[in-house]
Structure 1
Amino acid sequence: MILHDATIRIKNLRLRTYIGFNDDEIKNKQDVVVNAVIKYDAKRAADTDAVDNALNYKTVTKAIIRLVENNRFLLLEKLTGDILALCADHPWVKWAEVEVDKPHALRFSDSVSLSIACSKED
């Protein structure tokens, strides 16, 4: 059997959410930048050219947007982990990684980021 390992990359998804535990962070939404990498076997999609046989990155992206914009998070770890769970939820997903940047979180720094990965391969 020939495998067709596909890699979907969702790059620089710019969203706003409540992230942090300082007074200002609790009161005001902040920018976050989400990057996700999702690997799955795309053999069925490649062989059939059928939409139903492909992992729908638009559906995944919309779920990420809803999650981020409609919730509050104290820690980057929780936000990143919740996004990762969404990305890895589909049974075809073999591996996923999510990185979330919090721009201007530190003085003199462009951003702080955290990444978490998971594997479902046997």
Structure 2
Amino acid sequence: MACPEGLDRIELTGLRGTGHHGVFEHERRDGQEFGVDVVLGLDLEAAGRSDDLSATVDYGTLAEGLHAILVGEPVDLIETLGVRMVDLCLSDPRVRWASVTVHKPEAPIAQTFTDVAVTIERSRV
């Protein structure tokens, strides 16, 4: 799914934090770095014309909320993190569509790999 046509986008990429998520005891105990990329679909016309922060999503505040989830209460699955984060994004009524990708580059996989990621997308459109 892509951002629906006719919507503008706000993108926040590369947000990082140490979380204690995973199904294994060592993941919960030791923690590891996770990453998040977010894309919001919304109408930015009013913000662009008014130059008023209150007419758009404050991406600094959004980053704080996403980071709090990322480093907060441990969960087993990165899918759970993604759903919680997309729910946060859609809690702003101006956001019509959101895509959240959670990266787990230190996942406990024996084979050589670069990243494991889960993307959750939700829409009001």
**TM-score, length basis structure 2:** 0.89
Q: CA deviation at 1:90?
A: 0.3
CA RMSD of aligned residues (A): 1.2
Structure 2, gaps ≥5 residues long: 1-5
Alpha-carbon distance between aligned partners in 2 of 1:113 and 1:51, rounded to the nearest angstrom = 31
Number of residues of Structure 1 aligned to a counterpart in Structure 2: 118
Instruction: Look up the match of 1:18.
Output: 20
Matches within 5 A, 1:20-59: 20-59=22-61
Shift of 1:21: 1.3
Identity %: 25
Show CA shifts across 1:59-118 (max 9, x none). 111111112112101011101111111111100001000001101312311111100100
Query: Which of the pair is proportionally richer in strand?
Result: 1
Q: What stretches of structure 1 of length at least 5 have no aligned partner?
A: none
Q: What TM-score do you get using the length of structure 1 for normalisation?
A: 0.91
The residue aligned with 1:109 is: 113
Query: What is the CA deviation profile of residues 33-82 of structure 1, one whole-angstrom value per residue up to 9, with x for unaligned ones?
Result: 10000011111111211121121111111111112112101011101111
Structure 1's consecutive aligned runs of 4 or more residues displaced over 6 angstroms after TM superposition are none
